[in-house]
Amino acid sequence: MVRAAGRGGAGWRTRVVGGRLRDQALVVLMVTAVAVAATTVVGLLAGLLHLAQTDAVRTALGGLDPDDVRIEATLWVDGKDTQTVLTKARAGMAEITGDVPTDVTTALVGPWHAVPRPDGVQAHMAYLATLPRAEGTARLVDGRWPHATTAPDGTVEVAVPVIAATSNGWGVGARIDAKVWDTRQEAAWTVVGTYEAIGPSAGWARDPLRGAGMDPARNVPGSAGFRTTVAWGPFLVDPSALDGAGTVDTAYLLAEPRLGEASRDAVAGLRERVVDGPVLLAEAIRPEARGRLTTALDDTVDAIGWQVAVARAGVVTTGLLLATLATTVMLLAARLLAERRTTENELLAARGASPRQLRSAVVLEALGLAALTWLVAPWAAQAALGALVRSGDLTAAGYQVGPGVPAPVLLACAAMAGVLAVALCVPAWHTAGSSTGTAHAGLLRAGADVVLLGIAAVALAQLVTYGSPVVRGTGGPYVDVVLVAGPALVVLAVATVALRLVAPVGRGADALAAGARSFVAPYAAWQVARRPAVASGTVLLVVVAVAAGSFSAAFGATWRTSQLEQVDLALGTDLRVGGFPDAPLTASGAVAAATADHPTVHAQPVVDRRVDVGPRDGNGGVSARLLAVDTSRPQDVRGRTGTEPADLLEGLGTLPPPTGTAAEVPPDTQWLVADVTVTTDPVTGGGSGLVHLVVEDDRGVVVQLAPRTVRLGERVQVAAQVPRSDHLRLVAVGAFVAPEELPDLDAAAPIRGSVRQLDVRLTLHGLHGVPRSAGVTHLDTAADTPGPAMTVDGDGWSGTVHQAPRSSALDVAGGLTPGDPERVLELTGSVLGDGRGMTQASLVASVGRPTTPVPAVVSRALLQDVDVREGGLLSLRVTGTPVDVVVQRVVDDLPGAPGRPALLVDHRVLAWSVLDTGGQPGLADVFWVTGPEPAVAAVADGFAGTDAELTSRAQRRATAVAGPVSAAVPAALSLLTTAAVVLVLIGVGTVAAAALRARRLELARLQALGASRHGLVGGLVVETTLLVVLAAAVGLLAGYGLSAVVAPLLTLSPDGRPPSPDPRLVWAWGGQAVRTTGLVVAACAVVTAVVGLGLRRASGAALRMGDAQ
């Protein structure tokens, strides 16, 4: 009699379990191996996710662009004591950054000063500043940087922009007398150096003139925009020169946190405090100053958080699919174990053991298995993870396995071990004291499979409704477990419903095989038709494995393709070259030199900047990205926009052909010297002008050379320095004019109140170049240095006079011929003047006419902010010049600016439109380089050691699929595929072993009746093949349906938003068929091995033992 309780009862259970371990060691070892292997893989996924959330995040934070994490405080000092304000501001900044290591720099901008003109005309403006030169924003051209508060004579040492030095004769050693604007406070400066702005324009974002060095029409302070004058600056000084009160107008405090060196809690604290940063800064600097805090740090840190959430969604989805497959295999293994113990349980029941006692022994065995699994699997997972991260993308992503086992790995292994322990109990729990050998039939009769399918459909519908398993919460993004469990539920539901197909397929196969002459096919079909419940294990397993595996492959391919397409669309080209420390023409020449040896590579200048855009006839402008490319080369555009590149760019490059002939600039010219006169009719009592020359290179870069100030009515030699370039031509001549001291009113002249109409004439008497071999370094010397004369044919030249808000045609006559001093080029136009500074006008004559308005393609995101449609007009400002554009067409995304308000125009059309309106057309923010990948890589290598900033599409693509955080997703999918193959083969082998054991007597009798061993093996293999093929077909269809719906939803951009362009399912039927066929063949091979081995060892013994066996 079996005791039900007490110490004896507990001892009985221990003896029973121990006896089973001895007598059934092989089967128990197989079950243990399945549990440990499956739990190890789950622990491996948990460890991978843990590294993605720790090491990968730290690597990602450490690799961020400083501009993305910089915290900038703008302080309006308004003449208060500079050091007092800065000290308080630094304290406030320290409170914001907390424990995060931070580098802090300052930039100071002084008030506007009036610089009197020697001719008595309206004073120009200038200002002192200390901008951080460590960013590589300025390069010394002549002299030295200021390093003292004052010069020996008591004046302040300054370094002035080259354009200011060459235009005003402020060379090294020059003294500049000035006054604070609208005050009598005098100042004196000594020029100790000249410099030029270099690097990207973002480095000059805090400069009032944005690094231009001059503004020909700067609004005069206090004039409400009604008066303008020429502004120069910044005049860089030593920081000590701006100490004290009354020396600084605006100060900038720039903090750059080193997030990669900070702890996770410190970064999280900074992220929270930066939201309240404006309040903390205001409290710190009150009452001395006012301030504003700007930063993208919160969005940047949030973006990393979204990347982690996206990776977590992919890894968790993979883990749930793997857990579903592992649980299925465990159920089959447990079923084999339970059927093997059927006779033993009947014997124990005959001796008085109750079903409860039998089940308690199973529970004890399952607890032991769970404990053993939990003790082994975490360490095995850590060892496997260590091997995984020692090479490949995970190593490059910064993944490192430390000592010990992280808590997430322990918890994941414990959860999986518990699930597998429960799975081990289910078959034995059902069969203990029951006459039914399997639970599948009962479940099907109860309709549980249909219920499960309904639940899966609801979960899938929720996922489609939400659009993503990553949900934005109050504490940041998180993965919704219900939504992310959808794919696993769908796979399991389809697998259980597929069990209903076994019986009708078996009956159909039996009917088809009835007339067969061989024994193998009828026997296999008959077995399936006779025992569909027994065959359900194979079907369930293979459906789950194939559906999970095919979904994993499709999701991985879809995710990878989408990441690459996002890079292509975001970059728009193969290689982006920017950040040149040189003028656009020099940069263009450098790019041309780098690509000269690669005929398959093409480079083009591109405008890529933010501009203000609004309706032409209304208000409500917004900030948008402006892209200007060579629209004649659609083959150079990268990225899927939903529109073919040729259709996207069609009609944008409609620049009329030149009507005039450009003048060739002599090779290796360093200076262009123009003999000019600017006059008015009637003659005014004063006034000045800025004469400028415009050149173009072979790549379409149009640049206005530094203008030179001239007195109206005086004939002067204007020297403009020419940047280094390979081949240039003169394409335009112009001037900014400001007549003053108007003559007495002529009764015959048109009257508009006090406004007078004047004829302005720019006469070009001669033009010659000064070669670099002459060694001239100063403009005054260049003006007196002879050189080769240039020919300018004015026929076909045309121009415009712009004086807001009016414009009129410019008359162009004559030309220049070397040796003919009587022939001149004359530009004549009319302007309006009132003698009070409201007379600023621009005259430009060029070889061609612009396209007006400029045709543009705009993104749909821009139309959400600006009320305009196709054919509507927009107005934008480029280098301070208003430009009208017409909306040619609307697309979802633009290359180079996906998902953002943006517009795309032709580069030359834009440049000539800016030139015609009097703007500065040096429009070459970056260069796009396209061509075969090896050639593009060689071009990129050619820029090594230079200051150029390179962005490679090939490198971005590699980072997108193997970046610090994103690398976890493909690694997890690869693990799922590998584990699915191993587990399905183990499961099929387990089912074959169970079937063989259940039929041992039947197979022995068939052998006794004359059936050959090979025939029986063939029958069992054909039976398995029939089931595996059926299950594989169902699993493949289920995987395709699941992938079509779910894979695009799980494919997100790094910031957690739907990607641009929209992801498309990547389902390779050929590859899927090959993988599935390989799985079927491998499964049949395993079954053949198991059945052949089992029949050879057991058939004779089974016949002798009869039913006892």
What's the pLDDT tens digit per position in 910-936?
988 888 877 777 788 889 999 999 999
Kind of pairing between the strands at 902-906 and 138-143: unpaired
SS3 704: strand
SS3 string of 791-845? CEECCCCEEEEEECCEEEEEEEEEEECCCCCCCCEEEEEEEEECCCCCCCEEEEE
The answer, yes or no, to whether the previous bond of 853 is cis (omega within 30 of 0) is yes
* 25 confidence band (pLDDT: 50, 70, 90): low
* 1109 confidence band (pLDDT: 50, 70, 90): very low
Q: pTM of the entire structure?
A: 0.74
Residue 506 above 80 pLDDT? no
pLDDT in tens, 971-1000: 888 888 888 888 888 888 877 777 777 676
pLDDT in tens, 534-589: 667 778 888 888 888 888 889 889 988 998 999 999 899 999 988 776 678 888 88
Kind of pairing between the strands at 156-161 and 113-115: unpaired
Kindly state the helix (H) or strand (E) to which residue 877 belongs, with its residue range. strand 873-878
* 11 confidence band (pLDDT: 50, 70, 90): low
Q: DSSP letter string over 167-191? A: HHT--TT-EEEEEETTS--EEEEEE
pLDDT in tens, 193-248: 999 887 666 678 788 887 888 887 688 887 766 577 888 989 999 988 888 888 88
Residue 331 above 90 pLDDT? no
Residues 109 and 46 in one domain: no
User: Domain end: 803, 825, 846, which one?
Assistant: 846
Residue 963 above 60 pLDDT? yes
Give the pLDDT confidence score for residue 906 in this predicted structure.
Answer: 92
The average confidence (pLDDT) of the chain is 81
Gap between the Cα atoms of 76 and 792, Å rounded:
51
Establish if 1025 belongs to a structural domain: yes
Kindly state the helix (H) or strand (E) to which residue 1033 belongs, with its residue range. helix 1013-1050
pLDDT in tens, 78-91: 778 888 899 999 99
Residues 627 and 500 in one domain: no
874 closest CA partner among 889, 885, 888: 885
Q: Check residue 390 and report its DSSP letter.
A: T
SS3 1040: helix
More confident residue, 935 or 119: 935
| Tokens read off for 625 | 């990205």
926 closest CA partner among 950, 895, 901, 955: 950
User: Domain end: 911, 930, 949, which one?
Assistant: 930
User: Domain end: 260, 276, 301, which one?
Assistant: 301
SS3 257: strand
Give the pLDDT confidence score for residue 189 in this predicted structure.
Answer: 92
Residue 123 above 70 pLDDT? yes
Give the pLDDT confidence score for residue 905 in this predicted structure.
Answer: 92
Residues 91, 95, 96, 99, CA torsion sign: positive
Give the pLDDT mean for 153-181: 88
Give the pLDDT confidence score for residue 414 in this predicted structure.
Answer: 92
Establish if 992 belongs to a structural domain: yes
Establish if 1076 belongs to a structural domain: yes
187 bridge partner residues = 178
Is 841:233 a contact under the CB 8 Å cutoff? no
Gap between the Cα atoms of 985 and 682, Å rounded:
99
Establish if 952 belongs to a structural domain: no
More confident residue, 512 or 961: 961
Give the pLDDT confidence score for residue 744 in this predicted structure.
Answer: 60
Residues 289 and 306 in one domain: no
End-to-end C-alpha distance for the chain, whole angstroms? 25
Give the pLDDT confidence score for residue 451 in this predicted structure.
Answer: 74
Q: CA 1057 → CA 309, 567, 839, 989, distances in Å?
A: 11, 15, 51, 44
Q: Give φ, ψ of 577 to 5 degrees.
A: -115, 120
Residue with tokens 């009032």: 208
852 closest CA partner among 909, 778, 896, 789: 909
pLDDT in tens, 706-734: 788 888 888 888 888 888 887 899 999 98
Gap between the Cα atoms of 495 and 541, Å rounded:
8
Tell me which of 368-372, 500-504, 638-642 is least confident: 500-504
Kind of pairing between the strands at 124-130 and 228-236: parallel
Residues 675 and 612 in one domain: no
| Tokens read off for 96 | 């914001």
Residue 519 above 60 pLDDT? no
Residues 99 and 207 in one domain: yes
Give the pLDDT mean for 815-825: 82
Gap between the Cα atoms of 521 and 524, Å rounded:
5
Kind of pairing between the strands at 902-906 and 622-629: parallel
694 closest CA partner among 378, 519, 912: 912
- Cite the DSSP H helix spans in 711-790: 779-783
Give the pLDDT confidence score for residue 259 in this predicted structure.
Answer: 87
| Tokens read off for 902 | 């943006």
Residues 830 and 880 in one domain: no
Give the pLDDT confidence score for residue 437 in this predicted structure.
Answer: 46
Give the pLDDT confidence score for residue 487 in this predicted structure.
Answer: 85
The answer, yes or no, to whether the previous bond of 682 is cis (omega within 30 of 0) is yes
Gap between the Cα atoms of 909 and 630, Å rounded:
9
pLDDT in tens, 1090-1108: 877 776 544 455 555 554 4
Is 803:845 a contact under the CB 8 Å cutoff? no
Give the pLDDT confidence score for residue 1055 in this predicted structure.
Answer: 64
SS3 719: strand
Residues 824 and 867 in one domain: no
Establish if 38 belongs to a structural domain: yes
Q: At what angle do helices 297-340 and 264-275 cross, to 10 degrees?
A: 130
More confident residue, 465 or 518: 465
Residues 682 and 713 in one domain: yes
Give the pLDDT mean for 591-620: 84
Kindly state the helix (H) or strand (E) to which residue 849 belongs, with its residue range. none
Give the pLDDT confidence score for residue 194 in this predicted structure.
Answer: 93
Q: Give φ, ψ of 187 to 5 degrees.
A: -145, 150
Residues 637 and 748 in one domain: no
Range ranked top by mean pLDDT from 282-286, 391-395, 499-503: 282-286
Establish if 586 belongs to a structural domain: no
* 321 confidence band (pLDDT: 50, 70, 90): confident
Give the pLDDT confidence score for residue 462 in this predicted structure.
Answer: 80
Is 156:149 a contact under the CB 8 Å cutoff? yes
Give the pLDDT confidence score for residue 1105 in this predicted structure.
Answer: 52
Residue 19 above 70 pLDDT? no
* 776 confidence band (pLDDT: 50, 70, 90): confident
Residues 667 and 643 in one domain: no
* 191 confidence band (pLDDT: 50, 70, 90): very high
Q: Check residue 894 and report its DSSP letter.
A: B
Residues 916 and 1006 in one domain: no
526 closest CA partner among 507, 505, 550, 554: 507
Give the pLDDT mean for 843-866: 86
Give the pLDDT confidence score for residue 618 in this predicted structure.
Answer: 58
pLDDT in tens, 631-680: 989 999 998 877 888 888 888 887 777 788 888 999 889 899 999 998 88
Give the pLDDT confidence score for residue 439 in this predicted structure.
Answer: 47
Residue with tokens 């690459």: 564
The tally of domains found in the chain comes to 4
* 133 confidence band (pLDDT: 50, 70, 90): low
Burial status of residue 840 (CB atoms within 10 A of its CB: 0-12, 13-18, 19 or more): buried
Give the pLDDT confidence score for residue 802 in this predicted structure.
Answer: 83
Q: Which residues, other chains included, contact 146 with Cβ-Cβ below 8 Å and sequence gap of 6+? A: 156, 157, 158, 159, 192, 193, 236, 237, 238, 241
Gap between the Cα atoms of 944 and 950, Å rounded:
10
Establish if 593 belongs to a structural domain: no
Give the pLDDT mean for 927-951: 86
Establish if 355 belongs to a structural domain: yes
pLDDT in tens, 986-1037: 888 877 777 777 676 666 667 667 666 676 777 777 777 777 888 888 889 9
Residues 153 and 236 in one domain: yes
Gap between the Cα atoms of 779 and 671, Å rounded:
8
Domain that holds residue 606: 602-655+852-930
Q: Check residue 1056 and report its DSSP letter.
A: S
